[in-house]
A and B are shown apart, each in its own frame.
Chain A
Amino acid sequence: MLNIDQKIRVLVAKPGLDGHDRGAKVIASALRDAGFEVIYTGLHQTPEMIVNAAVQEDVHVVAMSILSGAHMTLFPKVRELLDGAGANRILLTGGGIIPVEDIEALESQGVGRLFGPGTPTTEVIDYIQNWFVGQDTF
């Protein structure tokens, strides 16, 4: 049989100035082990760098890890740039230390689910897989 398996492509991005990418690396390997194609771009990514990479890599999902507290600016900024680049079909999700009220505010601005520290990686994987079902994409 011809094997057209739809690979889910995810950009794991680490914006901001803090130099801790352990969380990003953990999620990147977990997604890889779940059969995803994961593009990892390293530390200190600006929103412009992230969106440029997302467009070139034509990913389905951008997952950002933010520990610096700058989530209220970074998530909306990346969402806005993605939409502006004609990539509104891309799911923007992520995690970090984010208070519940901020999560609600961001979700109302077109950001997908956000995960707190210590969330089992399987939860993130399930979320992305469920979102992916029914996406009309190539």
Chain B
Amino acid sequence: MNAVTGPLESALAELLERFHAAEAVALGRAISLVENERPGFEDFLHEVLRVGPSAARIGFTGPPGAGKSSLLSVVATIWRTRNEQLGVVAVDPTSPYSGGALLGDRIRMSDLATDPGIFIRSMATRGSLGGLATTTKEVIDLMDAFGFDRVLVETVGVGQTQIEITAAADTVIVVLVPESGDAIQAMKAGLMEIADIFVVNKADRPGADRLVKDLRQGLHLRVGTVLESEPVYHGLDLDRIRRKESGEEFKGPGWSPPVLSTVAQSGEGVEHLMDMIEAHRSWLEESGELEERRRARGKVRIQDVVDRELRRTAWHSDALLAVLDQGLDRIQKGKDTPYSVAWDIVNRLLR
């Protein structure tokens, strides 16, 4: 069973046409097509992604209630005054109990609610068990391909989702608040490695200065001692660390994440944040890191899609399901193990 075999089915061809004509309704529908993995969605993505990535992808992550949406809304409003076209993807967790979700990020973006130059989409994490679903990353690609100058992504920082934002954004902004604890906690959570920019929001509250200082110190520890301070989280890439240490990783001078403080409501510190976002963009482009990040993203995508296709091919095939069933019978009779059955299925898949 092959995706990307031929012309799109007529309904999708029509959707594609309207997508290319930059109709908001078509983007809304296309996102659902992808999010729900409806038949033909990969062919649709294949068509749409013929144009490579061009938007600046900016991720906002951090603990619940840190002010990610408020901050995003403030910077978005300023970019809109410069007539930049913006796409926003706001991801909130699916309730593991009901499978439902309450998506409330738009509440903070009310001021932009009728602005035709910004498109906001709320998404639930659905089945991704804490990570960023492949479909979420595909939706970000859709937004990019639609032609926005920037695609802003908000994810709640809990474990793997937070780490995986690096797989979706070029610039990762980690938003913390004075109540978030100290730099050691940020280190343990792997934040030191993912943040391109740290923001201590709610700087109108006590403790902000202390956290800023603490984070700066924590970041300082890393300089020149990459291996010592690289946190041991899932997915540690030793190769990359080696290259980083030997200086091969960066073609230009390195980037040290700045630590800023903001008050989202008053806009204090926001101009500085925006300057840093621009500075990071220039660094990404000049150092070659942007190409590197895009390549890494491409690799993960290819692997994800291969995994997904294989899984679908296997478990949607009556013949292979029959092999599985018969295997289970033999296992119950003590005549076989799960491994030989699995190998049998893999061999048949590869034939």
B347 at the interface (CB under 8 A from A): no
Q: Is B247 an interface residue (CB 8 A)?
A: no
Q: Which B114-172 residues sit within 8 Å CB-CB of chain A? A: 114, 119-122, 124, 126-127
Binary contact readout A80-120 vs B (1 if CB under 8 angstroms, 0 otherwise): 00000111000000000000000000000000000000000
B36 touches A4 (CB 8 A): yes
Main secondary structure of the interface of B (DSSP, over half): mixed
Question: Within B239-292, which residues are at the interface with A (CB < 8 Å)?
Answer: none
Q: Residues of B within 8 Å of A, CB-based: how many?
A: 37
- A interface, by DSSP: helix, strand, loop or mixed? loop
Chain A residues, CB < 8 A from B25? 55, 85-87
Q: Are A58 and B122 in contact (CB-based, < 8 A)?
A: no
Q: Is B98 an interface residue (CB 8 A)?
A: yes
**In the assembly, what is the distance between CA of A36 and CA of B121, in Å?**
16
A52 within 8 A of B: yes
The reply to whether B37 and A4 contact each other, CB–CB distance below 8 Å, is yes
> In the bound complex, what is the Cα–Cα distance between A41 and B73 (angstroms)?
14
The answer on a CB contact under 8 Å between A29 and B33 is no
With an 8 A cutoff between CB atoms, is A20 at the interface?
no
Which residues of B are found within 8 Å of A41, using beta-carbon distances?
106-107, 110, 113
Write the chain B residue with the least CB distance to A85. Answer: B25
**If A48-B114, A55-B24 touch, does A31 touch B100 (CB 8 Å cutoff)?**
yes
The answer, yes or no, to whether B38 is at the interface (CB within 8 Å) is yes
Q: What are 6 A-B contacts defined by CB distance under 8 Å?
A: A4-B37, A7-B126, A33-B97, A38-B103, A46-B114, A56-B119
Instruction: Given contacts A2-B311, A38-B100, A138-B33, list 5 more A-B pairs with CB under 8 A.
Output: A32-B98, A33-B100, A37-B94, A38-B102, A42-B106
